[in-house]
Amino acid sequence: MRAVEYRANDDVRIVERDRPTAGAGDIIVALRACGVCGSDVLEWYMKPRAPLIPGHEVVGIVVETDNHASHLRPGTRVFVHHHVPCLVCAACRRGATTSCLLFRSTRLDPGGLAELIRVPREIVATDVLPLPDHLTDVDATLIEPLACCVRTFRRARFRPGDSVLIVGAGLTGQLHAQIARAWGAGDVVIIDPIEERRGLARGLAGARAFALDSEDLANLRCDLVIVTPPRVDVLDRAIDYAAPGGTVVLFGPTGPGETLALEPHRVFFREIAITTTYSADPDDTRTALDLLSRGLVRVAPLVTRVVPFEQAAEAFRVTATHREALKVVVTANGPS
């Protein structure tokens, strides 16, 4: 079979790999579509592990199963998550499911951007979701990034009526804005330097959208501030947008060695909480699927490019430029 091999953002190849073999409880999925995530082009994260088969926003067709996965018959079109928690350890019991040791050790074989993918039995048992017919392959690849955004609101203990500020109107900024609107935010505000993206947020989420230097931001204070760019300087500025008792969530991972010089006085008397969020768990993916299925979040306008499997290198190149595309999805018709 063919697979996409990542070595660097400018070195992505199509390679031949052995077909994966399913063990008891595993399934084999033929790839239909896979989104390219912003994390897939974070070279500080990807290159130390290269060469590898990337991809974790997977939609495919079950082509091989056994009696241990009787709820997933061959021919079933599914969303496949790439990590799952055990749901019983101490981390899981306190809600830190993405810190679970099983979550950190489970993965797709050899990766999501392969014509055939072995899904381990732990993932099969917990987070492989059959898809409704009305949801397209391309739209369904957004389940995983949308689930990560769902987790933001749960980590921040969002309540209907809270005001929400999103810094960055890229893909995840647009998803956060739509969730905030769907879940009853009192005000949805988004900041981005690109007018086209600000206009998209206004249209999709009814957000108030501003440029970075807008005078309207001078006195803005929101209950929840979501920082999507993985930049310490943006996080530092965003703290001042938090209302008393508010929460600031760092959504994008900053690189190793980057530090934030925070004067505690800035947050102490206003009781500002600063937290992070990482990935998504089975509750988050099911919520994301529900939001998409009911049309509460629209993702088709966010998919800028759809490219065939053979052009995966172009998908990575475009994603790495950030400004050139919001979301790129790779499609494939894998062997059966």
Give tens-digit pLDDT for 277-304.
Answer: 999 999 999 999 999 999 999 999 999 9
Predicted confidence (pLDDT) at residue 335 exceeds the cutoff of 50: no
Instruction: Please state, as a whole number, how many other Cβ atoms lie within 10 Å of the Cβ of residue 168.
Output: 25
- Is there a shared CATH topology between the 2-147+280-331 domain and the 157-276 domain? no
Q: What is the dihedral of CA 25, 39, 151, 130, to 10 degrees?
A: -40
Backbone angles phi, psi at 267, to 5 degrees: -115, -20
Q: Which residues contact 216 (CB under 8 A, 6 or more apart)?
A: 210
Residue 290, token pair as written in the block: 């529900």
Q: Which residue has the tokens 């890229």?
A: 170
In contact, 335 and 115? CB cutoff 8 Å: yes
Helix (H), strand (E) at residue 145: helix 143-155
Q: Which residue has the tokens 């061959």?
A: 74
Backbone angles phi, psi at 212, to 5 degrees: -65, -30
Task: Supply the pLDDT for residue 70.
Answer: 61
| Structural Rg of the chain based on CA atoms | 20
Summary mean pLDDT of the chain: 95
Task: Supply the pLDDT for residue 243.
Answer: 98
Task: Supply the pLDDT for residue 324.
Answer: 74
How many angstroms separate the CA atoms of 128 and 117, rounded? 13
Predicted confidence (pLDDT) at residue 336 exceeds the cutoff of 60: no
Beta bridge partners of 253: none
Task: Supply the pLDDT for residue 321.
Answer: 87
CA-based nearest residue to 241, from 280, 212, 199, 264: 212
Task: Supply the pLDDT for residue 185.
Answer: 98
Rounded (5°) CA angle 9-15-21? 120
What 265-268 contacts at long range (C-beta under 8 Å, 24+ apart), as own/partner pairs, is 266/239, 266/240, 267/239, 267/242
Residue 151, token pair as written in the block: 């987790």
Report the topology of domain 2-147+280-331.
Quinone Oxidoreductase; Chain A, domain 1 (3.90.180)
Q: How confident is the model at residue 334 (pLDDT cuts 50, 70, 90)?
A: very low
Q: Within its chain, how far is the Cα of 311 from the centroid?
A: 22
Q: 157-276 belongs to which homologous superfamily? A: NAD(P)-binding Rossmann-like Domain (3.40.50.720)
Across the range 41-52, mean pLDDT stands at 95
How many angstroms separate the CA atoms of 54 and 51, rounded? 9
CA-based nearest residue to 173, from 9, 289, 329, 322: 322
233: exposed, middle or buried (C-beta count within 10 Å: 0-12, 13-18, 19+)?
exposed
For the entire predicted model, the pTM comes to 0.96
In contact, 319 and 38? CB cutoff 8 Å: yes
In contact, 196 and 171? CB cutoff 8 Å: no
| Residue 102, CA distances (Å) to 83, 86, 107, 245, 250 in order | 8, 6, 10, 34, 24
Q: Which residues contact 48 (CB under 8 A, 6 or more apart)?
A: none
Residue 106, token pair as written in the block: 């489970």
Predicted confidence (pLDDT) at residue 30 exceeds the cutoff of 70: yes
Residue 272, SS3 per DSSP: coil
Q: Per-domain residue ranges for the chain?
A: 2-147+280-331, 157-276
